[in-house]
Amino acid sequence: MVSSDEDGGPADDETFHPLGEQWQDGLEEALEETDYDAELGMEMAKDAMRVTEGELSEAEFYDRYHDDVVEEFGEDDRPMADEIEADRAEGRLENTLSALGMGEDSRRGVMKKMGGAGAVGFGAWTTANADGDGPDESLAAQDEEADEPDDTNGHGTQWGMALDLEYCDACLACVTACAAEHNWEQGANWMYVLDYEDDTTSDEFVNRLIRPCQHCTDAPCEKVCPTTARHTRDEDGLVLTDYDVCIGCRYCQVACPYGVNYFQWDEPDVGEDELDEDHVYDARDRPVDSRGPRGVMEKCTFCATRQDGTMGDEMVGTTACEDACPPEVIQFGNMNDPNSDAQRYIDNVAKNRTLVQIDRDLPSPEDVEEALEDEDDLEADDVVDAVEDFDEDLLTVILAISILEERGEPEGPESSSLAEQEAATIELAELLEEQGLDVEGEDLLVDLDLADEPEEDEEFDGPSETLAQEQLEEFGGTPHSRFKLLEDIGTDPNIVNLGNEPGPDAEQIEGPVAYDDVGQTDNRKDVLDDGTVGPDGPSF
């Protein structure tokens, strides 16, 4: 067993977990109730976080715990194992080829044909030679495999979220929607909305966090899983749990810096026969969504089966929590696509806050056309007077959004409600122009502070993007800060928060809506003391 050592290994009396000593102690107590080695789980969790922080290489982490993992679990199927062993086998192969007298070019040629297969490919080749059949058949087969398209995440899809904490009203609609869609148990919340007190942050807005799983690009929870149950999906970066493979060791729960994992203690309240198979099995036929069976770990999945299209093409690029959020502060999308809802929102928060806020107030094109059909030589006052619920502020931001138009419809199948809202707003501006409003005229734009008034003997420069942006910032506001939770520990979470960032002494307080009032449970306070970790809740 690995113990504390001089090179920075875990020490028994050291608090390593970002959520604090109380949280860490609760995790250790929970591990001690399992059939697995609690000390090993704690040590691996600490070192997994050291890997994400860059203090320990994955190869060092793998070697440090390999023997112990095999002894405890009978296998070591941690995700880095295959790559590390393949790299080492490739090195051994290259050394062998060199010892056989092959030059560098020849070695490269053989390695290329081997497709990085390492010891497996080399073993097949030597076996074929021993039988006198030659290497052609096995190498040809490996060439076919090497020519297959690379489906690793790279610059492809990476699902994530932008969360506007300053406009979240803590109604808990996201929590109830998540529970209804995934059928998790009371207290095992995949989604939380947390209010907190913190002397280090601004009081301009309520201090609030929305906390689903962060779906980290470099997830410590995955590094400690001995069975491949906890894994990152290559095609879209989702961090998921294969319920058929999970053995319930709970090591992922300890290694998660965010406290988002839950163990299914008893038989679920919703039976297996009540679950929709299309909302359990992903496109690879692995059970990763909806609530887990007894004895496994579960957490937020970013609605993985929606992203696979099994819930319908119109659901791709959406989540239950996003759909349910009345103020639309949860924006989900592909973090690698500038036209996704999440990236659009992050790119210009003021503009997209404005789009969300005016969406319900925009009159239909038909109503506008009907109201203005008898008007000639339109001025701003004519529009305000003729169109119901249309004021100068609304006209100003509609034209400001039109001035800042930069992108068209989103690419790809995923939904983008912000793109649709922007298109509807621009369509309205174009309709006003068709009805006779001079939307690029000097008098109108200067009056609405969307253009600079020219000096004497100077030509009018037209609409100002700078002033248009200022109008949107005045209307929608700009976030106090932009941050990713615990970004400094290197997990690279795929959620961007817009609002007050909690300090180290932030403490949870009651929110405006009680969990009990919406039929849910805040297990950080008063329930599931024997079924979940941290009944009193950690400090942030």
The pLDDT confidence band at residue 96, using thresholds 50, 70 and 90, is low
Q: What is the mean pLDDT of residues 299-306?
A: 97
What CA–CA distance (Å, rounded) separates 240 from 228?
10
* Most confident stretch, 194-208, 212-226, 272-286, 409-423: 212-226
Report whether pLDDT(25) > 90.
Answer: yes
Taking Cα atoms as reference points, which of 187, 191, 197 lies closest to residue 210?
191
Give the pLDDT of residue 377.
Answer: 79
- Name residues whose C-beta falls within 8 Å of residue 471's C-beta, 6 or more positions apart in sequence: 396, 397, 400, 448, 449, 450
The pLDDT confidence band at residue 456, using thresholds 50, 70 and 90, is confident
Report whether pLDDT(92) > 70.
Answer: no
pLDDT in tens, 274-287: 999 889 999 999 99
Question: What 8-state DSSP symbol labels residue 484?
Answer: -
Q: What is the mean pLDDT of residues 418-442?
A: 92
pTM: 0.82
Q: Where exactly are the structural domains of the chain?
A: 21-48+157-317+519-540, 83-145, 341-476
Q: Hey, which residues does 498 pair with through a beta bridge?
A: 164, 482
Amino acid at 163: L
More confident residue, 1 or 336: 336
The CATH-assigned architecture of domain 21-48+157-317+519-540 is 2-Layer Sandwich (3.30)
Amino acid at 153: N
Least confident of 70-84, 171-185, 235-249, 463-477: 70-84
Number of H helices, E strands in the chain: 20, 11
What CA–CA distance (Å, rounded) separates 476 from 349?
8
Give the pLDDT of residue 430.
Answer: 93
What CA–CA distance (Å, rounded) separates 176 from 114?
52
Taking Cα atoms as reference points, which of 388, 354, 307 lies closest to residue 472?
354
Q: Hey, which residues does 241 pair with through a beta bridge?
A: 230
Residue with tokens 């329930």: 527
Taking Cα atoms as reference points, which of 129, 211, 203 lies closest to residue 170?
211
Report whether pLDDT(198) > 70.
Answer: yes
What CA–CA distance (Å, rounded) separates 109 from 453?
69
Least confident of 46-50, 84-88, 411-415, 424-428: 411-415
Taking Cα atoms as reference points, which of 328, 299, 292, 320 lies closest to residue 238?
299
pLDDT in tens, 310-364: 888 999 999 999 999 999 999 999 999 998 999 999 999 999 999 999 998 899 9
> What is the percent of the chain with per-residue pLDDT over 70, rounded to a whole number?
80
Give the pLDDT of residue 409.
Answer: 47
What CA–CA distance (Å, rounded) separates 322 from 263?
25
Give the pLDDT of residue 127.
Answer: 31
Give the pLDDT of residue 179.
Answer: 95
